Amino acid sequence: MISVVVAALVAATAVVPMPPARHNRLVKSDPGVDATLAKSPAQIRLWFKEAPELAVSSIRLADAAAKPIATGAVRATDDKTSIAVTVSAPLPPGQYTVTWKTAGTDGHVIRGSFGFTVGS
């Protein structure tokens, strides 16, 4: 009898649809993840699955020694799913890390990072 009840519970939960993940996520970036650029980018731009919440968004840039690089304030762009910062001065050849934070319509804060290289 107990095995019949367990089997019925397993069958019932197998057909209950799970809600889709509602958290925002990074879709693409410019510069791209692990990109090698011939010259310094003028800005860092990030695109997300849904519109990022500008009030909680940040984009930080650091060199290979983890020293922060000056950028402008995070700003909205002409595409409601992206945000950007201006790189304050040309970057010398080297490796850089972009660290970002934002939230979507669900309010859940997400974070991530990626690297890119200027020069060969």
For the stretch 11-34, pLDDT in tens is 444 444 434 456 789 999 999 999
**What's the confidence (pLDDT) of residue 106?**
82
Question: Is residue 117 over pLDDT 70?
Answer: yes
Q: How many CB atoms lie within 10 A of CB 43?
A: 15
Residues 78 and 40 sit within 8 Å (Cβ to Cβ): no
Q: How many Å is the maximal CA-CA distance in the chain?
A: 73
Domain ranges of the chain: 23-115
Fold category of 23-115 in CATH? Immunoglobulin-like (2.60.40)
Q: What is the mean pLDDT of residues 77-92?
A: 97
Model's pTM, two decimal places?
Answer: 0.80
Q: Is 11 helix (H, G, I), strand (E, B) or coil?
A: helix
**What's the confidence (pLDDT) of residue 107?**
85
The average confidence (pLDDT) of the chain is 87
